[in-house]
Structure 1
Amino acid sequence: MQKEVVYQSTNTFDTLNELTDQTKTVWLVFHGIGYLSRYFIRLFQSLDPVNNYIIAPQAPSKYYKNNDYKRVGSSWLTKENTQTETKNVLNYIDAIMESEKFPSSINFVVLGYSQGVSIASRWIASRKIQPNAFVMISGGFPKELKKEDFTFLTKTTKITHILGENDPYFEIDKVEAEKIRVKGIVPQIEFRSHPGGHELDIESLKNIV
């Protein structure tokens, strides 16, 4: 018999730059599988440090990436106990947002890369978050999410999906079918590409906000 228990847990997250009166944009960025947030956040170092403040949550499940037991990676979710794990992760994101208070007048961008897309989109849908922009990079949109889950978004919410032209994880036919499905859910979505592979290309984020 499998049972369940509720307990308090502690997790870290990373930030880049300082949140000041000059900050114009706050980025909440979700890494992909295999990353640690402290390494993922470095990808945003080229953004203007005065205008941009970046928050990178850390996926709670850690593992050794190879047999020498030196490099550590992490994962947001697996197929095991997904619903409960999703609730735990979303509660963790809520706690980050509660601790990182920032003015509502600041541009707010939610970004998910690879597996991070699933967390970012579920958090926005379940919490009815109104970001100025939602960016999905090299990741799939959760199958359970429907158009009615995003009807609260305004037409001015900028939604962008970015995919590398040489991404080995995506087949062209499947990509085109997925574009049709996702556009039916969030009609204002813009699809972009970059010449690389399964990676976050910082140049492709220009003019997001």
Structure 2
Amino acid sequence: MNNQIKNITYKSSNTYETLNSLTKDTKRIWIVFHGIGFLSRFFLKYFNELPENENYIIAPQAPSKYYLNGEYKHVGASWLTKENTEQEKTNLFNYLDAVLANEDIPKSCEFIMFGFSQGVSIAMRYLTHSKLQCNKLVLYAGGIPTELTKNDFEYLNNTEIISILGNSDEYLTPERLTEEKNKLVKLFGENVRYINFNGGHEVKKEIINNLVK
């Protein structure tokens, strides 16, 4: 047998969801990356208590959808796996470039990059690709890709880096916590604000709401 891996290029499409309207009164634009098992429309519910007229939220949709819990009822999605990662990253970046081009974000608004769980790695990798300037980079209960370096983020000017973790997150052992904090320090030095809360691997609306107070 002589198996061969072959690549083809073809057109594809994907959805994304937004919350609120982009108007002259908008103060902040968020791009929010959901965790594994989410769909973008359900992830947006965590942002629905932010002041509607001041916040416009863009939620990209992870492309790989699947049925959750081995049942053919509820659908979730995943951003990347260890299979063919580099090619999938390129596909993702092309999709995210198209999302932002479609939105035509005004430079006058504060810009917030937000990643939860698996979405943390996507937010950070996309920043290294796009070189987007953002006012806040929010890293919520997710792992930092090992390939990233301090040089990848030196272009960020006056960006507030915020790390959010639950003190009983089932995915973060003490060893993993130490590892992730060391990565943060390596990338951003002391320029990190740490927010800890009582809870597990979950999104807290009150924490999101407080990010803009």
Name the TM tier (shorter chain): over 0.9
**Match 1:14 to one of 12, 17, 27:** 17
Summarize the alignment of residues 150-165 of structure 1 with structure 2, pairs less than 5 Å apart: 150-154=153-157, 156-165=158-167
Query: 1:208 deviation in Å?
Result: 5.0
Aligned residues of 2:144 and 2:183 also touching (Cα < 8 A)? no
Q: Residue 67 and residue 45 in structure 1: after superposition, are their counterparts in 2 closer, same or farther (change >3 A)?
A: same
Query: 1:182 deviation in Å?
Result: 1.4
1:95 aligns with 98
Q: State the alpha-carbon separation in 1 of the partners of residues 179 and 81 from structure 2.
A: 24
1:173 aligns with 175
**Match 1:39 to one of 39, 42, 46:** 42
Instruction: Give the root-mean-square deviation of aligned CA atoms.
Output: 1.2
Q: State the alpha-carbon separation in 2 of the partners of residues 21 and 81 from structure 1.
A: 42
Q: State the alpha-carbon separation in 2 of the partners of residues 95 and 112 from structure 1.
A: 19
1:182 aligns with 184
TM normalised by structure 1 equals 0.96
Amino acid at match of 2:117: S
Any idea what SS the aligned residue of 1:34 has?
A: coil
Q: Residue 208 and residue 158 in structure 1: after superposition, are their counterparts in 2 closer, same or farther (change >3 A)?
A: farther
Aligned residues of 2:114 and 2:120 also touching (Cα < 8 A)? yes
Q: State the alpha-carbon separation in 2 of the partners of residues 44 and 178 from structure 1.
A: 26
Q: What number of residue pairs does the alignment pair up?
A: 208
Aligned residues of 1:164 and 1:197 also touching (Cα < 8 A)? yes
C-alpha distance after superposition, 1:108-155 (max 9, x if no partner): 00000000011100001111111011101010000000111111111x
Amino acid at match of 1:164: G
**Match 1:140 to one of 133, 139, 143:** 143
Aligned residues of 1:34 and 1:73 also touching (Cα < 8 A)? yes
Query: 1:166 deviation in Å?
Result: 1.1
Aligned identity (percent) is 47
C-alpha distance after superposition, 1:138-187 (max 9, x if no partner): 10000000111111111x10111100111010012321232122112112
Q: State the alpha-carbon separation in 2 of the partners of residues 85 and 36 from structure 1.
A: 18
Summarize the alignment of residues 97-136 of structure 1 with structure 2, pairs less than 5 Å apart: 97-136=100-139
Amino acid at match of 2:184: V
TM normalised by structure 2 equals 0.94
Aligned residues of 1:193 and 1:204 also touching (Cα < 8 A)? no
Q: State the alpha-carbon separation in 2 of the partners of residues 208 and 81 from structure 1.
A: 38
Runs of 4+ that moved beyond 4 A: none
